[in-house]
């Protein structure tokens, strides 16, 4: 029964995917005599937590009931009060938590507070699912660095474009729609200046039926070559555009970019933007996740530097061919297959005729 009710709490939590940053996704249900009497989930940062919604819905019947929650209740004052006190005051008899909170401000203290109050606590029910749900939050809260996903769409023979440079469209509508869903989920999208110069992309979220949230657009542009008329600079969007440059970028170009409304980050000296340093800066600005949609050069640099946590690789059942047609990952690559960057926890799903392969790098 614990797994059944925790599954409901997890399903509630995921409803807010892409909306809670920098907070985790959390779902909660209050159960009495085998029936759910209250439920809720964290909608977005700064609003009541999942436990509060569930307890409010349960009302007086929460006394003596069991609370199922996907993450250890918080015990500190932030933009909202500590959930542990609300749980204690409601008279909850038992708390079942999927996982402990990795936030150093909590990290077991919430569960300890509940036990001190005489509440029976169970930890670890569907923990694996809860860890996957909040993989972004876990990476960010423990390291201060964004969770990084590399996304690419390629043909069966590993081409992201034809020899003439055409890439629209390798995958079908279902795969492209899911790609926009990824943009809706993650805080920022990152591409290189080569992609901007070649395709002039908008890098916005365009979901079927409308809606969605635009990610922050991050452009790697060492020498500030981006044209002032580029769509990432001129389109209407609530999300800002960040241009990451080096000290080699001409000051007059930086002035023009700032006047256009872009945020300009001078990341480092040298010919190329230091990706590791850029990610550190983005994390300090509250960006918890980055979706890399850049070309082969950006993917190659990020993967070889060990900066990518997860891949989302779309594979179309097409053979493009051509010795000069580009692949999704550049750089020097591995000398031997044994030295290739390996993935674990791999999942494969169908999206229309295409395949989406997701996996995690071993760090």
Active site residues: 51
Q: Is 293 annotated as a binding residue?
A: yes
Q: Is 153 annotated as a binding residue?
A: yes
Q: Is 206 annotated as a binding residue?
A: yes
Q: How far apart are CA 38 and CA 63, in angstroms?
A: 12
Element (H, E) at 168: none
- Neighbouring CB atoms inside 10 A of 358's CB total 16
∠ CA 49-53-55, nearest 5°, is: 110
For CA atoms 161, 167, 172, 173, give the dihedral sign. positive
What lies within 8 Å, CB to CB, of 123 at 6+ separation is 72, 97, 99, 100, 111
∠ CA 186-271-187, nearest 5°, is: 5
Q: Is 113 annotated as a binding residue?
A: no
3-class secondary structure, 228 = coil
Q: Is 295 annotated as a binding residue?
A: yes
Q: Is 169 annotated as a binding residue?
A: yes
Q: Is 289 annotated as a binding residue?
A: no
CA atoms within 13 A on the CB side of 194: 8
Q: Is 300 annotated as a binding residue?
A: yes
∠ CA 361-175-25, nearest 5°, is: 60
Q: Is 211 annotated as a binding residue?
A: no
Q: How far apart are CA 82 and CA 77, in angstroms?
A: 6
Q: Is 183 annotated as a binding residue?
A: yes
Give 23-76 as a 3 state SS string: CCCCEEEEEECCEEEEEEECCCCCCCCHHHHHHHHHHHHHCCCEEEECCCCCCC
Expressed in angstroms, the distance from the first to the final Cα of the chain is: 36
Q: Is 167 annotated as a binding residue?
A: yes
Q: Is 298 annotated as a binding residue?
A: yes
Q: Is 297 annotated as a binding residue?
A: yes
Q: Is 49 annotated as a binding residue?
A: yes
Where would I find the H helices in the chain? Answer: 2-13, 50-58, 83-89, 109-116, 127-133, 135-143, 173-185, 193-199, 231-234, 251-259, 275-284, 296-304
Binding residues for Zn(2+): 49, 74, 83
Known binding-site residues for substrate equal: 167, 183, 203, 206, 293
Binding residues: 49, 74, 83, 153, 167, 169, 183, 195, 199, 203, 206, 222, 293, 295-301
Q: Which residues are annotated as a binding site for NADP(+)?
A: 153, 169, 195, 199, 222, 295-301
């Amino acid at each position: 029964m614990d797994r059944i009710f925790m599954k409901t709490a997890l399903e509630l939590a995921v409803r807010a995917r892409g909306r809670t940053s920098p907070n985790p996704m959390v779902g909660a249900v209050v159960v009495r005599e085998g029936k759910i009497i209250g439920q809720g989930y964290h909608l977005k940062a700064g609003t009541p937590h999942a436990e509060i919604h569930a307890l409010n819905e349960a009302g007086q019947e929460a006394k003596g009931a069991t609370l199922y929650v996907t993450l250890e209740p918080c015990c500190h004052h932030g933009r909202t009060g500590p959930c542990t006190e609300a749980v204690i005051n409601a008279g909850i008899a038992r708390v079942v938590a999927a996982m402990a909170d990795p936030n150093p401000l909590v990290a077991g203290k919430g569960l300890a507070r509940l036990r001190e109050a005489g509440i029976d606590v169970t930890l670890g029910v569907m923990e694996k699912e809860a860890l996957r749900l909040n993989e972004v939050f876990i990476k960010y809260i423990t390291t201060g660095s964004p969770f990084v996903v590399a996304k690419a769409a390629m043909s069966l023979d590993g081409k992201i474009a034809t020899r003439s440079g055409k890439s629209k469209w390798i995958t079908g509508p279902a795969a492209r729609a899911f790609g926009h869903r990824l943009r809706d989920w993650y805080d920022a999208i990152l591409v290189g200046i080569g992609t901007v110069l070649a395709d002039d992309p908008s890098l916005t979220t365009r979901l079927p039926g409308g809606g969605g949230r635009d990610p922050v657009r991050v452009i790697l542009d060492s020498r500030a070559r981006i044209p002032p008329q580029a769509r990432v600079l001129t389109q209407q969007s609530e999300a800002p555009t960040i241009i990451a440059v080096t000290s080699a970028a001409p000051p007059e170009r930086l002035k023009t970019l700032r006047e256009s409304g872009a945020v300009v980050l001078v990341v480092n000296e040298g010919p190329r933007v230091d990706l590791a340093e850029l990610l550190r800066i983005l994390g300090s600005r509250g960006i918890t996740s980055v979706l890399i949609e850049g070309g082969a050069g950006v993917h190659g640099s990020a993967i070889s530097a060990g900066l990518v946590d997860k891949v989302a690789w779309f594979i179309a059942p097409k053979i493009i061919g051509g010795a000069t047609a580009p692949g999704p990952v550049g750089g020097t690559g591995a000398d031997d297959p044994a030295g290739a960057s390996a993935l674990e926890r791999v999942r494969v799903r169908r999206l229309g005729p295409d395949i989406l392969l997701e996996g995690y790098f071993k760090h």
